[in-house]
């Protein structure tokens, strides 16, 4: 069965420092991969997605992620974190079931930004 | 204009009661979903409808009954509420694309508290 692992429950980064959030997936076929962000009390917003092609994908708010098939990973990065980036980040894999997709989410990583 | 709107945003009720959450999307999508986010922020799919037809039903107790009157609406009715039903319920929608490369747009969530 498909699954997503986000090994870091929470991460604290200083404002202006770089960020990398880890994501590993398990899926038998070529995966569709996503990163979503959830700000406190809000819904989920799509940051970026990987379907095919270039393994380095750019998203909104200056985020990027790199798909590495050999490591079954899709880590999220940002070169310089802003205080407004503090939120919960979810990695997800799109699993096709009877022709239709469902998203399987990781358990999330809470990002804290220190001054 | 809210793309995926859910009502109510907050719901507090007693055990044993019956309650409904409504969802509407104005994106012209043909697939809608209900996800449950528990107290540990874990997100899990409950149901998915494509063009008013149920396509995903993830081992959810039959106290939960989704209804899709048209492809822009997906409601969730819950009978005989239990303490464990307390969670945030997210509605989402997407186009159903070939091979499942769907991008989900989420609503802001409905926080259900069962006392």
On the question of pLDDT at B10 being above 90, the answer is yes
Among A49, A102, A108, select the one facing B48 at the smallest CB separation: A102
Pick from A42, A49, A101: which is nearest to B100 by CB?
A: A101
Looking at residue B112, its pLDDT comes to 97
Q: Measured on CA atoms in the order B66, B69, B72, B75, is the torsion positive or negative?
A: negative
Q: The tokens 């076929």 sit on which residue? A: A29
User: What share of chain B in percent tops pLDDT 90?
Assistant: 72
Q: Backbone phi, then psi, for A9, in 5-degree steps? A: -70, -45
At B101, the pLDDT band (50, 70, 90 cuts) reads low
**Which pLDDT belongs to residue A97?**
59
Residue A74, pLDDT above cutoff 90: yes
Residue of B nearest to A92 (CA): B43
Alpha carbon of A45: minimum distance to chain B alpha carbons (Å):
7
| Mean pLDDT, chain A, whole residue set | 91
Smallest CA–CA distance from B58 into chain A, residue? A102
Cα dihedral sign, B23-B24-B25-B28:
positive
Please report residues of A whose CB lies closer than 8 A to that of B35: 103
Q: How confident is the model at residue B114 (pLDDT cuts 50, 70, 90)?
A: very high
Of the candidates A90, A97, A105, the beta carbon closest to that of B56 is on A97
Measure A49 CA to nearest chain B CA, in Å: 8
Over residues A9-19, mean pLDDT: 97
- Locus of tokens 């930004």: A113
Identify which has the larger pLDDT, B12 or A53: B12
Q: What is the pLDDT of residues B87-99, one digit of tens each?
A: 999 999 998 765 5
Using a CB-CB cut-off of 8 Å, the residues of chain B touching A34 are 103
Nearest CB partner across the interface for B106, out of A43, A95, A102: A43
Contacts A5 to B, Cβ<8 Å: none
| Whole-number pLDDT of residue A100 | 61
Question: What dihedral do alpha carbons A113, A40, A9, A33 form, nearest 10°?
Answer: -100
Separation of alpha carbons B86 and A105, rounded Å: 19
**pLDDT at residue B1 in the model:** 67
Distance CA B66, CA A85 (A): 35
A35 touches chain B (CB under 8 A): no
């Amino acid at each position: 069965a498909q699954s997503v692992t986000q090994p870091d429950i929470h991460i604290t980064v200083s404002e202006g420092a770089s960020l990398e959030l880890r994501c590993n997936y398990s899926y038998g076929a070529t995966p569709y991969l996503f990163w979503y962000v959830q700000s406190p009390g809000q819904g989920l917003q799509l940051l970026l997605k990987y379907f095919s092609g270039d393994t380095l994908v750019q998203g909104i708010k200056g985020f990027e992620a790199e798909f590495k098939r050999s490591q079954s990973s899709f880590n999220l990065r940002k070169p310089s974190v802003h205080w407004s980036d503090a939120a919960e980040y979810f990695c997800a894999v799109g699993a096709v079931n009877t022709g239709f997709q469902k998203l399987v989410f990781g358990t999330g990583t809470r990002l804290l930004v220190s001054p | 204009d809210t793309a995926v709107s859910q009502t109510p945003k907050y719901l507090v009720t007693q055990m044993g009661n019956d309650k409904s959450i409504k969802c509407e999307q104005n994106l012209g999508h043909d697939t809608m979903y209900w996800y449950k986010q528990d107290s540990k922020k874990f997100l899990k799919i409950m149901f998915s409808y494509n063009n008013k037809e149920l396509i995903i039903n993830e081992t959810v107790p039959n106290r939960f009954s989704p209804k899709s009157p048209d492809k822009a609406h997906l409601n969730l009715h819950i009978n005989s509420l239990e303490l464990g039903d307390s969670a945030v319920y997210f509605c989402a929608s997407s186009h159903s694309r070939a091979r499942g490369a769907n991008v989900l747009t989420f609503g802001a969530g409905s926080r259900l508290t069962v006392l």
